[in-house]
Structure 1
Amino acid sequence: MSHRITVAQSAPHTRLELRHAVRAEQAGDDIGAGMRQLYELAGRIGLVPTGPPSTTYHGEFGPGHTTEADFGLPVTAGPIDGTTEQITVRRTEPTRFAYVTHHGGYEHIGTAYRDLYDWIGASNLYACGPPTEVYLVAPDEAVHPNDLITEIRLPVVTRPDLAIRLPATLPKAATLVRNTLTDKGFTVLTEVDARATFQAGPGTAMQDCRILGAYNAELAHRALELDPRAGLLLSFNIVLRADGETTIIEAVDPLRLVDTEDQAALAAIARDAKSRLVSVIEAVAESSRPTD
């Protein structure tokens, strides 16, 4: 890994945002146009920039793709006159993020992204939002491409027990999860292809997502003996979401499905179920690690 990764927390600030489409093949032109419009809007409605601009990408950004992006600018709070543009002025909340600083032209920025995602995948952190590029030295300020400085940020939280990012495509990850569930005493009763089932229609885009419904006969029998209404503990959902060349795997925490104070006996079963699901996630993670 050639880049240093750092974790920090942003300070609250007032932020002007403009939503704009960015085409991969015309990214430089589209980002430049969006930035110009952003600064023009700030001046027109009386907001003074207080920091560097940024772009947050809401979707896959690669050859042949067009994605929605939020162009953002920290600003002083001020009056907002009537305008017809699709803009947002909001007060941000403190956000924990991991970041990498890229020096130089954008043609090699993909290496910085890969290092950032690889570092997060190997840490106890979990990416919980889209990436943001902060232009510490933007093209209009640089004399030479080597002068450009871009900070790439990913919001992160501490990785929960029941989530993992797997370095595998979704079909491969789904096969591994199904096999591991079987090895750990679960039966996969249902599998839903969310993109095929729920996509709104032609021209819409949905992230590739599978939902596995897993059942454990022993746990179900124990739960129903205690309470015939304990249907929530009969099946557990494991969600797999494609994210580039990786797959995010998350399981529902069974303890969220019961009242731990009023349903103490069922809570004990839920804790057992969580422990078993954690062992599935850990086994999947171990199986995906390269061998020497």
Structure 2
Amino acid sequence: MTDFTLRATTSLEYDDALALVRSLLADAGFGVLTEIDIRATLKTKLDVDVAPQVILGACRPQLAHVALEAEPSIAALLPCNVVVRALPEGGSVVEAVDPDVMMSVAGDGSAADALRTVATDARQRLTQALGALPGQTVEAH
């Protein structure tokens, strides 16, 4: 399978990891537009228990604007999803959709050039944020 996420595993427990990820995303210029509590949703809808897990919809408006100007349909791939999940053995995993995935649908030409610039910037910022987690390893996954 092709790598489609940037992944960091940290020794931080879930609540601490989630709080720090929010802060690190803000430091990298991202705002959180949406938040989906997977654990709560699956408990409510299916009455099943899963490990704590949240999807944060992170957006850097400047990058989103450039991407949308280049290719309006790219909106279907926005915002950048960042998942924070508790690990059964302790610690947490943080995964973000790799912005380079956007390039697989970009095609050629000036739109692709603009999207490549956006993807490179977003990837650098997300990698920096994940890399700032304590006790972590970052990898494409």
Shorter-chain TM range is 0.7 to 0.9
C-alpha separation in 2, matches of 1:230 and 1:206: 31
Runs (4 or more) in structure 1 with deviation over 6 Å come to: none
By how many angstroms is 1:240 displaced? 1.1
- More strand per residue: 1
| Aligned position for 1:237 | 81
**Secondary structure, counterpart of 1:230 in structure 2:** helix
| Aligned position for 1:179 | 23
8 Å CA contact 2:5–2:96 kept in 1: the answer is no
C-alpha separation in 2, matches of 1:229 and 1:249: 27
Match of 2:122 among 253, 266, 273: 273
| Aligned position for 1:193 | 37
Task: Go from structure 1 to structure 2 and tell me whether the alpha carbon gap of 1:218 and 1:255 turns closer, same or farther (over 3 Å shift).
Answer: same
**Secondary structure, counterpart of 2:73 in structure 1:** coil
Root-mean-square deviation (Å): 2.2
Gaps of 5+ in 2: 136-141
8 Å CA contact 1:212–1:237 kept in 2: the answer is yes
C-alpha separation in 2, matches of 1:252 and 1:161: 4
Deviations 1:29-67 (A, max 9, x none): xxxxxxxxxxxxxxxxxxxxxxxxxxxxxxxxxxxxxxx
Task: Go from structure 1 to structure 2 and tell me whether the alpha carbon gap of 1:281 and 1:175 turns closer, same or farther (over 3 Å shift).
Answer: same
Higher RCO by CA contacts (8 Å cutoff, separation 6 or greater): 2
Match of 1:264 among 98, 103, 112: 112
8 Å CA contact 1:223–1:233 kept in 2: the answer is no
One-letter amino acid of the structure 2 residue matched with residue 269 of structure 1: V
| Aligned position for 2:93 | 248
Match of 2:50 among 206, 219, 229: 206
| Aligned position for 1:170 | 14
C-alpha separation in 2, matches of 1:229 and 1:236: 15
8 Å CA contact 1:211–1:237 kept in 2: the answer is yes
Gaps of 5+ in 1: 1-158
- More helix per residue: 2
